[in-house]
Structure 1
């Protein structure tokens, strides 16, 4: 009986470590090409305010920490560096203009602490 309790205890600890390491408790991502763990590591491994995490289906995907609303400023700064001018925000959409072109970047709260940003891939042209 004592061996079974030890076995179950060890198995529980191992499963707990594996589950914690996989970041299963985070919500699903809107993209399939990267894992939750990779996304969090990319943000933790840099000093940048906003990090590109993937390019998928004609969009570039970024993540930024929320930090009391700074995520929206991080998005505006990133896009403004490429000559786009912020025009307005409507819901989760941020509208930018460059000459006669309009760019719409959308945001999604991934957790309380992080915002996922979706920008069309051709925005740097």
Structure 2
């Protein structure tokens, strides 16, 4: 491979790495398997809703609605891991797919991670 081709390949791979780092939670596994990533909204086992946000039966915006967490409410969260699920547009995020499990004394379900702070 010529020097120019190696140089272009290096630039292309570097650009792809930067895009992957700049858009966490957008890229999914190539094989469609579930992956987890860290989420600072749930670092201490609690998360606060940044706005009114749906709690669903699975990590999908079309899953059945369990309840709605109101803006400012604090819920317990299962861990600091984000599950990569179905894509959503919510809370200022387009094409997001990071979800995590939240619960309180009455409800438990999955929610778009972009909606929690």
**Shorter-chain TM-score category?**
0.3 to 0.5
TM-score w.r.t. length of structure 2: 0.37
TM-score w.r.t. length of structure 1: 0.35
Q: Which has the higher helix share?
A: 1
